[in-house]
Amino acid sequence: MRRTQNMILALNLGVILFALIYGAAPPAPRYYPLEREWSMEVRQGSPSMGWYGRCALSAGAGLAAYLMTLAFASRRTGDLPAWLRRGATAGALFSLILLGAYLMHHELSRWGS
């Protein structure tokens, strides 16, 4: 049971960090399809796709949180407290709901209804 609890906690924390990083929108590489190149700068007058870089950055942060949580959780003995399991699961679900609402707002306000 301990290994399962560690994995669930790590997945929940990875999901929470993914959602936070994606929502914070830090500078990430953008792909310019007409030039067929990646760049960190935003160029005026040229269409770009920032979604790929943003997802890769968020996925990398989520993976790092997952791996670090697994590394630290494997050192502990005994079961996780119930409040921590429930809190991490509720936090992951809440962050996914907020991220979904943010994405809907972004898409509808930017590209029309």
Element (H, E) at 32: strand 30-32
pLDDT in tens, 20-44: 999 998 899 999 999 999 999 888 8
- pLDDT confidence band for 112 (50 / 70 / 90): low
Number of structural domains in the chain: 1
Q: How far apart are CA 70 and CA 92, in angstroms?
A: 16
pLDDT in tens, 43-73: 888 888 888 999 999 999 999 999 999 999 8
Identify the domain containing residue 38 by its residue range: 2-111
* Residue 31 contacts residue 52 (beta carbons within 8 Å): yes
Q: The whole model's pTM is what? A: 0.83
